[in-house]
Copies of this chain bind each other. A is one copy, B any other.
């Protein structure tokens, strides 16, 4: 990171934390140069960058000020849907995912943070170390049981979050996606009803479609998460066989249930003896000091199948995830043996070594800081470029913002027009079994903010104004 970028980040932090309030005047270039012991050109470049990010603005003959423009308002939760829905959204999702292959596209539609944010060289060292110490016998044996060190390290992290996890409950998988697939397959039969969130992660819709399951959509409040009253009512009225929820930093809204609601959700599951597939892949990406607790930590009946992975916070492409599967662990292990046998043994061993020796928590702190800073940059940029009437979430973690545009905006048209200008985004309808959220979109801020991103927001703003 260049000196001026570092300096800009420090100022940005002061703005985000409110030390420099909206409307406050920034020190002059000469004054800042003297005070902070940096060259005037460093200050100038930093201010220019901050202006580019929309955090400050120049006033003629007066200097730089923190921008007055307030944040965009939060979106409202969507309306409930009355009945179960057949899912048929896969083709739309594939056409969106296909748009992400071009490396020159501004990746606001991506599902991953920038790979530059991950300690890939350090992981490569862990890989080399692990392969030197892996016996030939383990290369075969780890395929069925999973790497023993990795299982222990994962169980240790659960302990820190208040979950005492017996190792037998843990099934290592090809990323969280395989964990979620196996979990749902394990607890349902074709034709069954499954309660999901609305909006929800599109892969959830694809899995339901593939397994011929019907979706019962439960609305998610942008800040407080899933509507438990509605869930309770549906569980009474309909033969729901499983729930699939993200209780912390939900994708795409970023909402988290508080601990009371997580406890209440557990009670509901228990009363109806319905398993919960808890997709918790963003839990490590919280911004505050307090990691969110999983619903799993309130479960004393083995009803929660807690799925996660290292793909979003450490090692994309290694494809190592897991499910802590409660009472379903043995069946899931067997399903895995029948379908993919095992995740890559070297990848498991490398991550196990990294967790022991690589400085995972230090990396996570840096990553969370970067994502939070980038969130601020995107929010500020959106406030500057997007039309009045736009609403946006402000999650306390992760790297997604969910935008609700004015009613007349068609997100699928927006998607196509943006793509033609080299900008990807995830249009609202791919997050809905009933093709709702037609004027919404999810934007990824997982990449270091740059002039290209700022320009892309400007272009999006112009397209939005044209509707």
A338 touches B112 (CB 8 A): no
A343 touches B346 (CB 8 A): no
B115 touches A124 (CB 8 A): no
Chain B residues positioned under 8 Å from A123 (CB to CB): 131
A267 at the interface (CB under 8 A from B): no
A116 at the interface (CB under 8 A from B): yes
- CB A313 to nearest CB in B, in angstroms, measures 14
- Return the chain B residue nearest A173 by Cβ: B340
A118 at the interface (CB under 8 A from B): yes
B343 touches A344 (CB 8 A): yes
Chain B residues positioned under 8 Å from A190 (CB to CB): 190
A466 at the interface (CB under 8 A from B): no
A317 at the interface (CB under 8 A from B): yes
B174 touches A340 (CB 8 A): yes
A232 at the interface (CB under 8 A from B): no
Chain B residues positioned under 8 Å from A341 (CB to CB): 174-175, 177-178, 319
B338 touches A319 (CB 8 A): no
Instruction: Scan A107-123; emit 1 where CB is below 8 A from any B CB, else 0.
Output: 00010101110101001
Q: When chains A and B are docked, how far (Å) is the Cα of A177 from the Cα of B145?
A: 17
Q: When chains A and B are docked, how far (Å) is the Cα of A142 from the Cα of B317?
A: 8
A115 touches B140 (CB 8 A): yes
26 CB contacts below 8 A, A to B, read A94-B337, A97-B337, A101-B144, A103-B137, A103-B141, A114-B136, A116-B136, A118-B136, A120-B134, A123-B131, A124-B131, A139-B317, A140-B316, A177-B341, A181-B339, A190-B190, A207-B339, A210-B338, A319-B341, A319-B344, A339-B339, A344-B346, A344-B347, A346-B347, A346-B350, A347-B347
